[in-house]
Amino acid sequence: MFLFVLKALHIFFVVSWFAGLFYLPRIFVNLAMVAQESEAERARLLLMAEKLYRFMTPLGALALGLGLWLWLGYGFGGVWLHIKLLLVLLLVAYNFYCGLLLRRFQRGENQHTHFWYRVFNEAPTFILLAIILLVVLKRPF
């Protein structure tokens, strides 16, 4: 029974983390489109982005912690899991890169167009699909 509770909590925190991974880059799209003279709109979007980042990062840490507990405590294994772990590391890097991008926006040093952020926003979608396929099929593609 305890294993099922751990799995359920892991899934809950993964879903919550992904909500942030999907939405924060969308805020970046809007920030990249804000006109220079729209200081109030820029400030509002920056505040939203900062609050979301501060909320989603601990959710990701909880998802990772529970996933690690499941892996080490219950001994799941196989090639599929190693590939999944690599994809999870990519998501962690993506999360922290979002934090770097946020700090650049806060300093007024954005280097990308709204189109770049639209493409960047799609990365976690494809990684999530790959992870789901790995977990369900228990083998590489």
The SS3 call for residue 78 is: coil
Which tens digit of pLDDT belongs to each residue from 53-108? 999 999 999 999 999 999 888 777 788 889 999 999 999 999 999 999 999 999 99
Domain ranges (residues) in the chain = 2-137
Residue appearing with tokens 């980042």: 53
DSSP string, 85-102: HHHHHHHHHHHHHHHHHH
Q: What is the pLDDT of residues 41-63, one digit of tens each?
A: 999 999 999 999 999 999 999 99
Whole-model pTM: value is: 0.93
